[in-house]
Amino acid sequence: MLNLDEYFFLGKITKTHGFEGKVNVWLDVDNPQEYSNLDMVFVELNNNLIPYFIKNMSLLNNKAVFTLNDVNDIETAEELVQKDLYLPLSLLPKREGNSFYFHEVEGFKMLDTKLGEIGVIKTVLDTPGQSLFQVFNSDGKEILMPMNGDIIQKVDRKKQVITVNAPDGLVEIYTQD
The residue with greater pLDDT, 97 or 57, is 57
24-33, 42-51, 147-156: which is most confident: 42-51
98: pLDDT strictly greater than 80: no
- What CATH number should be reported for the domain whose range is 7-91? 2.40.30.60
Least confident of 1-5, 70-74, 168-172: 1-5
Q: Which CATH architecture has domain 102-175?
A: Roll (2.30)
**Which whole-number Å values give the CA distances from 112 to 41, 109, 164, 171, in the listed order?**
40, 10, 5, 10
Range 53-58 average pLDDT: 95
The answer to whether 7-91 and 102-175 have equal CATH topology is no
Q: In the prediction, which pLDDT does 174 show?
A: 92
Domains of the chain, by residue range, sit at 7-91, 102-175
Helical (H) or strand (E) element with 170: helix 170-175
Q: Tens digits of per-residue pLDDT, 1-11?
A: 677 778 888 99
Contacts of 156 (CB under 8 A, 6+ apart): 162, 163
Q: Tens digits of per-residue pLDDT, 114-168?
A: 999 999 999 998 888 888 999 999 999 999 999 887 899 999 999 999 999 999 9
Give, in degrees to the nearest 5, the angle at Cα 127 between 115 and 149. Answer: 45
β-pair partners for 51: 42
Q: What is the mean pLDDT of the chain?
A: 91
99 close to 90: Cβ distance less than 8 angstroms: no
27 close to 8: Cβ distance less than 8 angstroms: no
Q: In the prediction, which pLDDT does 149 show?
A: 77
